[in-house]
Chain A
Amino acid sequence: MPRLEPLSRRALLIGGSTMLGLPFLEAMLPTGQAHAHGGGPLRFAGLFTPNGYSMSRFTPDQEGADYDLKEVLVALASVQSEVSVLTGLTAVSNGFGAHAQTTGSAFTGTPVATPNAPSLHNTTSIDQAYAELVAGETPLPSLVLGVAEVANPGDDAGYPDVYHRHISWDGATPMARLDDPTTAFELVFGNAPPGASDADLERRQTLRLSVLDSVLDEANSLNASLGPSDRRKVDEYLTSVRELEMRVAAEDVTTDNACAGIAPGPMANDEERVRAMLDIIALAFACDQTRAATFLMGRSFSSLDYRDLLFGGSGPWHHHQISHQLGSHRDRHDTICRWELTQVAYFIESLRDMDEGGSSVLDNTIVAITSDVSDGHSHDNMPVLLAGGGGGALTPGRHIRYSGGPPTANLWGSVFNALGGNVTSFGEAGNGLLGQL
């Protein structure tokens, strides 16, 4: 029988309009739960930063522990002992276009369908594979978050844009992504009406379940009269409704839970928005609301405009455009990458600073960070970082150089096994596993 954590729908009523702050966490942590490896539950977070890195300013000269921090990686100084740098891995590519396909394949290890193919092709990403492995253990199977998109020109070689918008996939279905921190927060911590009594909350739960149950019946009976493609669509619907129904059914609406957050208040800039999202993931991990998460820190063709955040009055500000003019703007590209890694470091620190009974949340987590390209739109020698202890399975804080350019798919196979999986390869491009993580 799956164990579901009770989550109070009322606990957030204590929240004010301040920004979600991690210091609150320590008081809210569930008391230590025993897991196979002795610490808290294992978690996986996949972070994606777009448009690659200057690899000569990213890659340490030294291998092993105490590697040297080049001018981009220096942003990770505060967490260096928690982060391994993996170099020499190759992106999973089908040969067309620089960004879309390798965003879509970043965590799946499968070449996506070629441009203009009539239907989507991909396989389940590492975060969703892990979510399936621990299905039912937490209220939310996974968290899929990102930053709001800004319209900028550029379509990558005719691909459906889902490939450059989505890193988290359930088979060929991209997982809907939340870009608004307030919505994401409410999804994790509930949005019960203020002032609701126990009876109100119980009634609300009953009525929600009644509707979900009925629409499931309806869709099941519709499914019987459909052909295969249409059934595929209704199956997605059925999966989605069932998941919500399970979650609502498992809520103990009348028991206060010590674990809740403070709803995010107004956010002044993109950095605060990014950090609010990273806080939500950290909080959801700490409270065991979910164990799998991804965060898309922008997509290659869109998203953050660095005018206000980093560069002020003078352009170029668009990350993608800057990444196409490395001849004249490499320093600017590096500045953006350092800013991205500063946010990554913030997330790693947050996980590290939360104790869960003798080990930190970070000790029991694997955080993987990668991009769609490496340097100048190449797919070789990808920038990959791996943080956290994975419950003892990982030895972080080293620079590991791989020879022969193994596909990133092989990394996900090894990560999946470190999380309790048992595979010999991952994704359609996987052809083995990586040792010595």
Chain B
Amino acid sequence: MGTRITISLPDDVAARVTVEPNQSAFIAALIRNRMHTETVRAALEGAGLAITDNGLTRARGLLRKAQTPRTHRASHAGLAALRARHDDTTTT
């Protein structure tokens, strides 16, 4: 059981939420994820790391840049390339 609350959402956000079969679970999962992120940030700051909004933007960009090419790859392409190198070595 939980607490029943009434909230107001922008129309576009509400339209997205209403397509979910379990809207409460959908919203709860998003908020839990946000809570987790906030907990991690607070813990890191408490441990002495300086977290900045500019740094978060830069980190987001680094992740996006690093991950984008992977969408064009076959799964485990790196392992396949590694094993091919082994095959080349042992057959020459």
A joins B in a complex = no
